[in-house]
């Protein structure tokens, strides 16, 4: 869904699909990019490290270890590109609703230029606006500037398990002992030094986080209420929500994703759609 929605709705964008395992043919065959100017590049059996999870299994969960690898992709795979956006597979990207508002790459580029940084993200805070030492999973980078600043750090982590261990230790030192260590904690530790946390909080959080699409995660947990903020990261009026949700149904039919249309999360979404139309 993620790949096809990007191909459908973002023009002139190439997509790098990275997997630590072999990408099955049935997955490849579901990606439809005929007629799109963007290319889809498959990078399979890719582990950007000279060691494996067994060396770190006592210190970080397997799922968070593998999720962090997206932030350690080698510079060579971004060569020739000016910018890149490390996205989230459970986001559906619809067509742009308000063309007067800059969309994804245009907006992210303008924010990084304004902030004079090589990346844009969100610095997560708690209910009291205190720093949680965790960034978001959606990560925009200006390729050359980013790797000029952080390339050596990334290469060192790739080649040296002790460097990864030190990163885990740094992250652990900033969160409660019983808190689950996430890949976004490690990203924070890799990019932000202790002496500039407050300035980075100001820069990264002065512009509200933008999902640019619909986040499917809230639909999976029956304890989560479904609303505009949970799905889209902001308050949209009911007509805009209806338009996106109708487009999603058309998208799923067009790409023959019939099995997904019967899954639990979609059944919850149908109920939410129905409630929007009868209000």
Instruction: Give me the percent of the chain exceeding a pLDDT of 90.
Output: 76
The residue among 182, 209, 183 whose CA lies nearest residue 123 is 209
CA-based nearest residue to 186, from 84, 100, 70: 70
pLDDT for 33 equals 62
77/79 Cα distance (integer angstroms): 6
The pLDDT tens digits for 254-270 are 999 999 999 999 999 99
8 A C-beta contact, residue 30 and residue 258: no
Per-residue HEC secondary structure of 167-189 comes to: HHHHHHCCCCCCCCCCHHHHHHH
What are the tokens at 64?
């968070």
- Predicted confidence band at 102 (pLDDT cuts at 50, 70, 90)? low
Query: What pTM did the predictor assign?
Result: 0.92
Average pLDDT of span 96-108: 77
pLDDT per residue as tens digits for the range 7-46? 888 878 899 999 999 999 888 888 866 556 678 899 999 9
Provide the angle, in degrees to the nearest 10, between the axes of the packed helices 143-159 and 183-191: 110
Question: How much is the average pLDDT of 110-117?
Answer: 96
């Amino acid at each position: 869904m993620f790949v096809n929605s990007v191909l459908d709705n973002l023009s002139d964008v190439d997509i790098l699909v990275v997997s630590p395992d072999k990408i099955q043919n049935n997955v490849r065959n579901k990606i439809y990019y005929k007629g799109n100017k963007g290319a889809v590049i498959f990078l399979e059996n890719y582990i950007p490290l000279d060691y494996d999870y067994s060396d770190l299994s006592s210190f970080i969960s397997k799922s968070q270890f593998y999720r962090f690898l997206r932030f350690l992709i080698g510079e060579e795979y971004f060569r020739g590109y000016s910018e890149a956006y490390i996205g989230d597979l459970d986001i559906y990207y619809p067509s742009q609703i308000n063309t007067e508002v800059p969309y994804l790459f245009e907006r992210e580029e303008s924010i990084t230029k304004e902030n004079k940084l090589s990346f844009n993200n969100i610095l997560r805070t708690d209910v009291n606006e205190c720093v949680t030492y965790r960034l978001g999973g959606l990560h925009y980078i200006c390729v050359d500037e980013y790797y000029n600043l952080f390339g050596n750090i990334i290469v060192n982590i790739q080649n040296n398990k002790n460097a990864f261990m030190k990163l885990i230790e740094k992250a652990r030192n900033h969160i409660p002992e019983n808190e689950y260590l996430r890949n976004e904690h490690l990203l924070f530790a890799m990019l932000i030094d202790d002496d500039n946390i407050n300035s980075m909080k100001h820069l990264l959080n002065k512009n509200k986080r933008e999902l640019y699409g619909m986040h499917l995660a809230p639909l999976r947990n029956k304890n989560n209420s479904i609303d505009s903020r949970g799905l889209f990261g902001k308050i949209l009026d009911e007509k805009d929500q209806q338009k996106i949700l109708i487009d999603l149904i058309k998208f799923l039919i067009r790409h023959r994703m019939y099995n997904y249309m019967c899954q639990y999360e979609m059944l919850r979404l149908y109920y939410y759609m129905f409630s929007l139309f009868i209000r």
